């Protein structure tokens, strides 16, 4: 008889735990919300003339190794 989905999931999770892993729940912004793009735009605009933001972006560009990227 075939094992149920819940039994297979339980077995897989136990195997992962035995391998030294543990489950972690991660909450991320919901990009499907109507207000998401608006909030991204608002935050980007708030950094437009920020001197520290420009300094960080310049450093990232200088430190980035993009050789071989297509």
Taking only the tens place, the pLDDT of each residue in 24-37 is 999 999 999 999 99
- Quote the mean pLDDT of the chain: 93
For residue 55, tell me if it sits in a domain.
yes
For residue 26, tell me if it sits in a domain.
no
For residue 68, tell me if it sits in a domain.
no
pLDDT category, 1, cuts 50, 70, 90?
Answer: low
* Total domain count, the chain: 1
For residue 50, tell me if it sits in a domain.
yes
| Residue 51 half-sphere exposure toward CB, CA atoms < 13 A | 0
Q: Looking at residue 3, what is its pLDDT?
A: 84
Q: Looking at residue 66, what is its pLDDT?
A: 87
């Amino acid at each position: 008889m075939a094992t149920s989905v819940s039994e297979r999931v339980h077995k897989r999770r136990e195997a992962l735990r035995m391998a030294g892993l543990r489950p972690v729940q991660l909450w991320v912004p919901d990009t499907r919300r109507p207000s998401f793009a608006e909030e991204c735009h608002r935050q980007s605009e708030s950094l437009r003339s920020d001197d520290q933001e420009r300094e960080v972006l310049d450093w990232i560009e200088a430190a980035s190794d993009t050789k071989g990227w297509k």
